[in-house]
Structure formats: structure tokens, C-alpha cells
Amino acid sequence: MIIAVDGPTASGKGTIAKALAAHFGLPHLDTGLLYRAVGHQVALHGGDPDDAADALAATQFPEGLLADPALRSEVCGGLASQVSVHSAVRAALLERQRAFAAQRGGAVLDGRDIGTVIAPEAEAKLFVTASVAARAQRRWAEMLQRGEDAAHEAIAADLAARDARDAARTAAPLRQAADALLLDTSALSPAEAIAAAIMLVDGKIAAQGTAR
């Protein structure tokens, strides 16, 4: 069984995807981490994330980079959004993600184009979203916990800019798949969001079983 979890930054999709993987006993891939690694690799080599050639070269990052905690920073998040607009970068990472999805027994993947491009055949698809205000508050709290300087207004502006860039890109734009179930986590706690996601996926699986 393949479960696709898509949505914008700080919507809670990563937390939900990890919980779904644990609940259903499936491996999990945070595909956004791949793009963060590419963005970080560009920065490490003094390249330009808006330059397609620099971004493509960075797709050959060492595997060990995926364990670098720096990838979780806001800076890397912004770099990931920049390099992800390049179709060549997306093509270079495409097969890696599809191979993970196609492994025996299935998998849970979260990102921005899982249900539309990476695994359109997924048995269950969720599109997890939340208001910019709710997402900015969450990200602000996370940054404060890590001891990072954070201006709430700047975070909200950055999230809105990422949303616009991700939705407007030509290659695999951020959008809800036609058969994806919508989950708005704006007013939900992490536990409530996870419970709602499990209920939605269980319902989808049950419906498919009935249809067969």
C-alpha cells in the first residue's frame, strides 16, 4: 500500500506521514529532505540556487548529507523551494522517489507532488493544509525552541512566498490531486491531526475493499 501525503510547508504533513508509517508498519520518505539537501549542497559550493545548472549539479550530493541537522533550518527550506522549480532537478530525483514508493509492501511518502507525479497510483492520498497564520505560529514556536532568532511576520511572509513559488512552478506544481482527501490542520493539535489522518486513510482503504 502506498500512502501519499502532500501539502505546503509547516502544514503538519511530515508529522502525519511519520505517524501513518508507524501505524501501518510502512517505511517513510520525507521527499522534501532531498530538495533541502540539493539546496544545501548548492550553498556549500557557493552556487546559485536559481541557476538550473548549479542546482542540477547539486543533485549528486553525498548520502551522508541527508543526516545533517542543518537541512531542517529555515534557510535550507527556502533553498529547497528555489531549487525545486528546476525541471532538471525534479527529473534527477524522480526515479529515486518512485523506487522508494514501489518497494515491496508499499511506503508512505510526503512532499508536494507525491499524489500527482511521484505515485499517482497511491491507494490513499492526503492533502494536508493549514492557514498561513497557523503555520507561521508553529514554525515560530519551533524556531524559538531551537534557540533561533525568529520574527513572526518574516516567517509568515516567507511561507506565503514559498506557497506562491511552489504553486506557480511549471514542473510538478503544488496542488491537491483530484482523488486526494483534504485535511485542514489549522485548528488541530498534532495528536488530533494524526487521528484524523488515520481515520481518513482507514476509510479510504475500507471503501476500496468494498468496491472490490
**Residue 146 clears pLDDT 60, i.e. is over it:** yes
Domain that holds residue 121: 2-211
Strand partners, 3: 108, 124
For residue 192, the domain's CATH number is 3.40.50.300
SS3 of 186-197: CCCCHHHHHHHH
User: Does residue 203 contact residue 25 with C-beta atoms inside 8 Å?
Assistant: no
**Residue 152 clears pLDDT 60, i.e. is over it:** yes
Q: What letter represents residue 25's amino acid?
A: G
Distance of CA 171 to the CA centre of its chain: 15
pLDDT tens string 72-110:
888 998 999 899 999 999 999 998 999 999 999 999 999
User: At a CB cut-off of 8 Å and minimum separation 6, what does 37 contact?
Assistant: 61, 65, 66, 68, 71
Q: What letter represents residue 208's amino acid?
A: Q
What total number of domains does the chain contain? 1
User: At a CB cut-off of 8 Å and minimum separation 6, what does 131 contact?
Assistant: 186
pLDDT of residue 65: 95
170 pLDDT band, cuts 50/70/90, is confident
**Residue 143 clears pLDDT 90, i.e. is over it:** no
Say how many Å lie between the first and final Cα of the chain, rounded.
15
211 pLDDT band, cuts 50/70/90, is low
